[in-house]
Amino acid sequence: MWDYLQHLSFWDWLAVGTLLLILEVFGAGGYLLWIGMAAAAVGILTYLFPALPWALQFLLLGLFSVLSAVLWWRRQRTAAKPSDQPGLNDRGSELLGRQFVLHEGISGGRGKIKAGDSLWLVSGPDLPAGSRVKVVGQEGVLLKVEAAA
């Protein structure tokens, strides 16, 4: 084992880097990307400087892995922009303040309204079907309603 470590070539590092990048394709979520890129960088350095000791090669692998991940993380944080459509994935927020007719009466605190082509589960005071209600809040997919004036 020690003999193998003493004679690591650039092919070994490129093979490890390629293997890590292939594994990344199968869904590692970005964790193996930076280590694979770092292994490829160490392979290039080992090609340019074949006398690099194996301990320094592993130290460079760790340093390059952490450095590349931190730089990418910082770039992603500075590149993030607030959305021009903040309610895009919050479908119920567009219903707040609007009035609807109860599709199914509220019994035991739960009922349904029809908004567009969708039925929404609502909570509020017991009311019969056909009553007008106003959406006053939202908890996930449950809309809070009160009797409309």
Residue 1's pLDDT is what? 67
Q: What is the pLDDT of residues 19-50, one digit of tens each?
A: 999 999 988 777 888 899 999 999 999 999 99
Residue indicated by tokens 């092919």: 11
Instruction: Label residues 49-69 b or e (16+ Cβ within 10 Å = b).
Output: eeebeeeebeebbeebbeebb
Residue 104's pLDDT is what? 94
Question: With the CA atoms of 70, 71, 72 and 75 taken in that order, what torsion angle do they form, in degrees rounded to the nearest 10?
Answer: 120
> What's the fold here for domain 94-147?
OB fold (Dihydrolipoamide Acetyltransferase, E2P) (2.40.50)
Residue 116's pLDDT is what? 85
Beta bridge partners of 107: 110
pTM: 0.53
Residues of the chain with CATH 2.40.50.140: 94-147
Q: Is the pLDDT of residue 143 over 90?
A: yes
Which of 5-9, 39-43, 52-56, 112-116 shows the lowest per-residue confidence on average (mean pLDDT)?
A: 5-9
Q: What is the pLDDT of residues 68-105, one digit of tens each?
A: 989 988 888 887 777 777 666 777 788 899 999 999 99
